[in-house]
Amino acid sequence: MVIATFFGLGFFPIAPGTAASLVVVLLYKFYLSGLAWPCVLLILFLLTVLGVISSTTYSRELREKDPRRIVIDEACGQLFVLLLTPLTWPALAISFVLFRFFDIVKPYPVSKVERLPRGWGIMADDLVAAVMAKILLHLYLVLK
Helices 118-143 and 37-62: crossing angle, nearest 10°?
Answer: 140
Tens digit of each residue's pLDDT (9 = 90 or more) over 48-91? 999 999 999 999 999 998 899 999 999 999 999 999 999 999 99
Q: What is the pLDDT of residue 132?
A: 98
Mean pLDDT along residues 112-135: 95
- Whether the pLDDT of residue 9 is over 90: the answer is yes
- Whether the pLDDT of residue 144 is over 90: the answer is no
Mean pLDDT along residues 85-107: 97
Helices 72-82 and 16-30: crossing angle, nearest 10°?
Answer: 40
Mean pLDDT along residues 15-33: 98
Mean pLDDT along residues 3-19: 97
Q: What is the pLDDT of residue 1?
A: 87
Mean pLDDT along residues 32-50: 97
What is the model's pTM?
A: 0.96
Domain residue limits, the chain = 15-143
Q: How confident is the model at residue 13 (pLDDT cuts 50, 70, 90)?
A: very high
